[in-house]
Structure formats: C-alpha cells, structure tokens
Chain A
Amino acid sequence: MTPGPGRRLIPAYLVTGGRSAPTGPALDRLAVLLRTDSALGPETGSEQRRLCELLEPGALTVVECAAHLELPVSATVFLATDLVAAGHLHARPPIPSAGEIDRSLVERLLVGLRSLH
C-alpha cells in the first residue's frame, strides 16, 4: 500500500483516477498554496518543480496555479498534495470553508462592494 520513495514518471493527470484515498480531505480549489523554504531534492518531478517555481515569489490558490501551469485542477491538487506531504508547500484552506458563509462575512462583502463604486 505504501508508495515507495521513488517518484512516478507518468504525468499526474493520468494517475489521479487510480490513486488510493489521499490522507486528509482533498484540497479545495481555493486553498492557498505557499512555498516553504525546504529545498527541492532530485526526487522532485518536473511538474512538481514547475509548481514550486511558480509559487516562489508569492502565494496563489490551487485554481490559479492550475491555470498558470495549464493543468486541470484535479492534477494540480494531486501535485500539491504530494508537495505538501513532502514539506515543500504549505496549504491553507480558504476561509470560509465550503458551507460556512455567515452573515458577518456577507455584510463585509457588501460594504466592500459598495465602496468599489
């Protein structure tokens, strides 16, 4: 069951379908990804490397990374999950997480939108 230390060489999007259940909940489309200062080793695949390089200057959501790397969101989630597990990325869930929108949040949104007029 435990995957070996070696990295797959097949593009991530080809294997996502057959993957065993990831540990923890899947990353949200709007999870914020941040690069940690851990150095990439030779085991880091080229797609993973691209993702880390994209995040070097600053933070982006999963869906923005997917768009910049021209990968499907599912593949990006897959890459990011592995990189988080390896300590190269940090992922912060969006606040509110799905289904937790409350009045104060929407009120703040309204104040903000009205000020954009």
Chain B
Amino acid sequence: MDSVPSTDRGGIGYLPSAAETLMKLVVTGPFGVGKTTLIRTLSEIPTLHTEEAMTQSSTGLDDTAGLPEKTTTTVAVDFGRLTVQDDLVLYMFGTPGQERFFPLWEDIARGALGALVIVDTRRLEDSFAVMDMVEEQGLPYAVAVNRFPDAPAHADEVLRKHLDLDPRTPLVQCDARERRGSIDALIALAEHALTCLPAPQESS
C-alpha cells in the first residue's frame, strides 16, 4: 500500500527513484590492464556483466584460420554504477579494446561522455589500436596509466611521447585498486570532455 522501497532481495541494487539522469562512460584498454578492477573499485553495486554475441566473417581472424565463413564469439562486457549526485548516476562500461570488437564497442560508446583508456607501461604499444579506435569514434578520452608493481615507472612526458598524445589529452597515473586515484582519472576525463563541448554562449 505504501511506496517504501521494498526489500532488495539478493542485493540487486535497484535505482533510487530520484535517479533521473543517467550518463555513461567507457573504460577500455588492452587485455588485462585493469579495466574490471577500476570499475569494481568505483562501483556502488557488485559489478555485473552481459554476454554479447559477435557474429563476423572469419577472414583475417588470427585464431580461426581454416574455419568456414562466419564465427560467433561471445564477449563479456562488465559494468558498474556510481551515483554521483542524488539524481545523477554514472554507468561505467568495461569494453575490450581488441579491434575485432569494434562494432560492439561502437554500440556501447554511442552517447557516452567519453572513454578512459587504461594502459600498462610494460606494453604501451598494445594500447595503440584502442586509442585509434577511440579517436575514430570521436569520443573525448583520457589515458590512465595503471601502475603495476613490476612495471617500469616513467615520467608523464616520456609516456606522452611514446603514446603520441595530443597535448590536450589528459594523462593520469593511478592504481586501479584505489578509489581516490580512480576518481581522479574520471575527473580528468570529465574536465576534458567539458572542454570538447561548444562554449556556453554558442547556443542555437
């Protein structure tokens, strides 16, 4: 009879009724760089995932040589949620950076605020394809260097040079397991996304 929120069975994490504005961003990067870890660090709900089917022609695919025409692969897309203000909720989607997932990537990234590209200094060149993909999509992005203990530490300028970053693209170093640094990475991305939007007085 009354509208007190029902008990949340199984910790589903229903949306607060004030949550009116839903935004999203994409967390991407090569295999095993810490995408899921960063989302888990920031999410207020246990991270969830969907299995998405990808059908594609096998021509040119490394791992399916010799198989006929089409293959279907499923790929897990994990995501989390962060209530930023009472009525403003941010969704973070962890999308695989491999080029063959581009159609899926594009679909998820449509309407996103921007992308956070996570890189590992032990294999910077693995990030090039992802960065190309993000640029092709025209999404504002920031680069977050996830520091692994055995990874060589480099000054920002050295990393920027190796990654061939535009001077305006933010670069932050963080530990994806730590909340504060991960929030800083999101702030860097949001600040950059703001500068990519038309200036205030340019209406109509």
Chain B interface residue bracket vs A? 35 or more
- Closest CB in chain B relative to A65 CB, distance in Å: 10
Q: A30-B22, A98-B110 are in contact. Are A72 and B15 (CB under 8 A)?
A: no
A69-117 interface (Cβ within 8 A of B): 70-73, 94-103, 105-117
A111 proximity list for chain B (CB < 8 A): 85
B50 proximity list for chain A (CB < 8 A): 63, 66-67, 71-73
Most chain A Cβ neighbours within 10 Å, of B9, B23, B186: B23
Contact with B along A7-49 (1 / 0, CB 8 A): 0000000000000000000001110100000000000000000
Q: Residue A6 at the B interface, CB < 8 A? A: no
Query: Which residue of chain B has its CB nearest to the CB of A73?
Result: B50
A64 proximity list for chain B (CB < 8 A): 13, 48, 81
- Residue pair B180, A117 in contact (C-beta under 8 Å): yes
Query: Which residue of chain B has its CB nearest to the CB of A33?
Result: B15
Contact with A along B37-66 (1 / 0, CB 8 A): 000000000001111110000000000000
B48 proximity list for chain A (CB < 8 A): 63-64, 67-68
- Residue pair A109, B9 in contact (C-beta under 8 Å): no
| Assembled-state Cα–Cα distance A108/B21 (Å) | 11
Work out how many contacts link A and B, with CB atoms closer than 8 A.
116
Which of A100, A107, A117 is in CB contact (< 8 Å) with B194?
A107
Q: Residue B1 at the A interface, CB < 8 A? A: no
Q: A95-B20, A95-B21 are in contact. Are A58 and B5 (CB under 8 A)?
A: yes
| Assembled-state Cα–Cα distance A102/B20 (Å) | 16
A108 proximity list for chain B (CB < 8 A): 84-85, 88
Judged by DSSP, the binding face of B is mixed
- Closest CB in chain B relative to A70 CB, distance in Å: 8
Q: Residue B79 at the A interface, CB < 8 A? A: yes
- Residue pair B21, A110 in contact (C-beta under 8 Å): no
B178 proximity list for chain A (CB < 8 A): none
Query: Which residue of chain A has its CB nearest to the CB of B21?
Result: A95
- Residue pair A72, B197 in contact (C-beta under 8 Å): no
Q: A72-B53, A109-B190 are in contact. Are A98 and B113 (CB under 8 A)?
A: no
Q: A30-B91, A101-B23, A102-B197 are in contact. Are A110 and B191 (CB under 8 A)?
A: yes
Q: A54-B12, A59-B14 are in contact. Are A113 and B111 (CB under 8 A)?
A: no
Which of A28, A97, A101, A112 is in CB contact (< 8 Å) with B88?
A112
13 new A-B pairs (CB below 8 Å) besides A32-B19, A54-B12?
Answer: A32-B22, A58-B6, A59-B15, A60-B15, A61-B22, A66-B50, A72-B53, A94-B23, A109-B90, A109-B113, A110-B190, A113-B186, A113-B190
Binding site for B on A (CB under 8 A): 28-30, 32, 54, 56-61, 63-64, 66-68, 70-73, 94-103, 105-117
Binding site for A on B (CB under 8 A): 5-9, 12-15, 17, 19-24, 48-53, 79, 81-82, 84-85, 88, 90-91, 108, 110-111, 113, 180, 183, 186-187, 190-191, 193-194, 197-198, 200
